């Protein structure tokens, strides 16, 4: 990633990733953005200057044919600067479901441990009265 170019994710809504790009050293700079997925360009990327916020807004529509099981990573780069500005990923399918189930199991175990510790604390403090 270039030291002079800063990219910030704003949001992802309705299948479109939105971000902001700013060049810290050159106010006249104009981005030449390319977004790729598996080394193929993503069509429909738009870039608009926001003079009030002094940055460029980028919108990347996620093509339906690029959504699949597993992790899909989209790389954002500036062609003129030959710099990778960042990336974003979409996780879908069974792999995600298994990760969520594993995380829920861990959370339940931690919650059970906290409940036991809280009950023990309540019993110990009640005996002190």
Domain match, 83 and 105 both? no
* Together in a domain, 98 and 85: no
Q: Is a pLDDT exceeding 70 seen at residue 68?
A: yes
Do 12 and 57 lie in one domain? The reply is yes
Tell whether 68 and 118 lie within a shared domain: no
User: Looking at the structure, do residues 26 and 85 belong to the same domain, yes or no?
Assistant: yes
The angle formed by the CA atoms of residues 43, 47 and 53, to the nearest 5 degrees, is 155
105 vs 90, residue with greater confidence: 90
pLDDT digits (tens, 9 = 90+) for 81-102: 888 899 999 988 776 667 777 7
Same domain, 99 and 81: no
Q: What is the C-alpha to C-alpha distance for residues 83 and 69, in angstroms, rounded to an integer? A: 29
The whole-angstrom separation of Cα 19 and Cα 76 is 10
- Model confidence at 128: pLDDT above 80: no
Q: Which domain holds residue 99?
A: 93-129
């Amino acid at each position: 990633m270039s030291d002079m170019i800063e990219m910030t994710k704003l949001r992802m809504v309705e299948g479109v990733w939105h971000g902001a790009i700013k060049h810290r050293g050159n106010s006249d700079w104009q981005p030449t953005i390319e977004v790729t997925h598996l080394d193929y360009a993503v069509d429909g990327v738009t870039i608009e200057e926001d003079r009030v916020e002094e940055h460029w807004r980028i919108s990347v529509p996620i093509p339906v044919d690029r959504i699949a099981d597993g992790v899909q990573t989209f790389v954002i780069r500036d062609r003129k600067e030959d710099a990778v500005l960042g990336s974003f990923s979409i996780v879908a399918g069974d792999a995600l479901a298994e990760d969520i189930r594993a995380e829920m199991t861990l959370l339940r175990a931690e919650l059970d441990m906290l409940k036991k510790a809280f009950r023990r604390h309540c019993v110990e403090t009640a005996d002190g009265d």
